[in-house]
Amino acid sequence: MVYNEILRTSGAKPMLVLFSGIGCGPCDNVAPYFEKLSEVYGFDFYKTERSMSKLDDIFKTETPHIIAFPTFGFFRFGMELGKVVGDSPEQLKEWIELSIKYKGD
C-alpha cells in the first residue's frame, strides 16, 4: 500500500524515498543527510519504516523488492527510476547526481 501511494503521488517533481527499518542504526544515521540532499536538489523526500523482523514481508517478496536497509529510491511520473542500497552520504550524493544526469534534468 505504501509503495502504491508513492507511485501515485510522484509527479513531475522527483521524489526521493528512504526505505528504512525501525531500529536500523545506519538508516537513522543517513536519513538527515538524505533529507538535506533532497532539499538541496529540490526534490520531495519521503521516508517509510518497516519492522526489521518483517524484512521478509511484502517489501522483499513483491514490489519494491527491498532486500536490505537502508534502500533509497528515485521516483518520477508514477515510475521507479532507480534504487540504491547504502549508508554513505557521499555515495548518496553521487547516486542522486548520476540519476539527475541520466534522467535528463
Check if the beta carbon of residue 29 is closer than 8 Å to that of residue 89: no
Q: CA–CA separation, 83 vs 86, rounded Å?
A: 10
Q: CA–CA separation, 57 vs 66, rounded Å?
A: 10
The pLDDT of residue 48 is: 86
Listed by start position, the domains of the chain span 2-103
Give the predicted TM-score (pTM) of the model: 0.81
Give the HSE-up count for residue 15: Cα atoms under 13 Å, Cβ half-sphere. Answer: 21
The pLDDT of residue 105 is: 47
For the domain covering 2-103, report its CATH number: 3.40.30.10
| DSSP codes, 59-86 | HHHSTT---SSSEEEEEETTEEEEEEE-
The pLDDT of residue 66 is: 81
Print pLDDT tens along the chain (105 aa): 577 888 888 888 888 899 888 888 999 999 899 888 888 988 888 888 887 665 555 566 566 778 888 999 989 898 888 899 999 999 989 988 888 776 554
